[in-house]
Amino acid sequence: MGILSGIARYLRLLGGLAVYTLNRELAFRGNFLVKVSVEVIWLAILIAFYRVVFARTSTVAGWDEPQYLFFVGCFFALNGLIEMLFLENCNEFAELVRTGDLDGLLLKPIDEQFLITCRRIDWGTAPNVLMGSAVMGIALANAGWQPDLLRIATFLVTFVCGTAIAYGFMLMLTSISVWMVRNQSLMEMWWLFSSLARYPKEIFSGPWAEPLGAFFTYCVPILVVVNVPANAMVRVLDGPMVALTIAATVLLLWASRRFFHYALRSYRSASS
């Protein structure tokens, strides 16, 4: 099978899975509406909070209000995309291991990583991507931003890289479930991850915080996930940071895939 036809097949499958999960979500409309409402309220609270902050100061860690609003929108869209595509699937992985229901997925003639991490689309978080995009659009309009093709291209590439980095970390945390069987720590770890990613890296200043910021930029590159695309679009187009983000993406996707397959070798398949 050629690479292009392979990609086309997986895109078709992703489309099929998206339709089936939408049918499933809509079979439980009440649950769907509650999830969407919670996310709308959460974004409203977040924006209200930052408006209060910027009513008292003109910049936070060097970011002015439209720039910061763009950062918040970028985080919201990226986080929403990850939650929509991967979080529920990864969170269910431990349960699949515990019950042995993973068997059914491993038997299918398709990439295991794709099927396990993409089989369900969480449509309840899909509006977050739209809301985040809308907030970014509003922020750009407020800043009087002029279209710049290089910035747009860099933003898109690094936004995809940020999503892939987050996915890579999530896949590694998920893989541990094969040994732990119960892995409730995944959600806690994801909360920690998103808590770190949601702030500009400039807040890590001072003798204690700076090494921590460097650690989460160069060793465990969580801080680049939102900072680099947001910076590229509304602040500094930092070539080395963009290169670091792309390199980290390639490395992390490769390492997380290897680790996932290594973990699957230890799968014991719960007794029937």
The answer to whether residues 101 and 112 touch, using CB atoms and an 8 Å cutoff, is no
Compare residues 23 and 58 and give the one whose CB is closer to another protein: 23
> In DSSP terms, which residues pair with 59 in a beta bridge?
64
| Window contacting another protein (CB under 8 A); options: 15-23, 131-139, 198-206, 251-259 | 15-23
Is residue 182 involved in binding another protein (CB under 8 A)?
A: no
List C-alpha distances in Å: 243 to 153, 218, 225, 233, 247.
14, 12, 13, 15, 6
Is 112 one of the binding residues for another protein (CB under 8 A)? yes
**Nearest residue (CB) to another protein, 59 versus 99:** 99
Q: Does 95 bind another protein (CB under 8 A)?
A: no
Closer to another protein by CB, 27 or 52: give it.
27
By CB under 8 A, residue 51 contacts another protein: no
Q: Can you tell me the distance from the alpha carbon of 254 to that of 50, in angstroms, rounded to the nearest whole number?
A: 37
* H or E segment and range at residue 59: strand 59-60
CB of 158 to another protein, least distance (A): 32
| 16 lines the binding site for another protein (CB under 8 A) | yes
Q: Is 176 in the site for another protein (CB under 8 A)?
A: no
From 40, 48, 53, 110, residue interacting with another protein (rule: CB under 8 A): 110
Residue 19 CB, shortest distance to another protein, in Å, is 9
Among 57, 58, 146, 272, binds another protein (CB under 8 A): 272
**Coil, strand or helix at 77:** helix
Q: What is the 3-state secondary structure (H, E, C) of 112-173?
A: HHHHHHHCCCCHHHHHHHHHHHHHHHHHHHHCCCCCCHHHHHHHHHHHHHHHHHHHHHHHHH
**9 near another protein, judged by CB under 8 A:** yes
- Tell me how far, at minimum, the Cβ of 188 lies from another protein, in Å: 19
Between the alpha carbon of residue 86 and those of residues 42, 55, 92, 93, 269, the distances in Å are 20, 37, 10, 11, 23
Report the DSSP beta bridge partners of residue 64.
59
Which residues are near another protein by CB under 8 A? 9, 12-13, 16-17, 20, 23-24, 27-28, 100-101, 103-104, 106-110, 112, 265, 267-269, 271-272
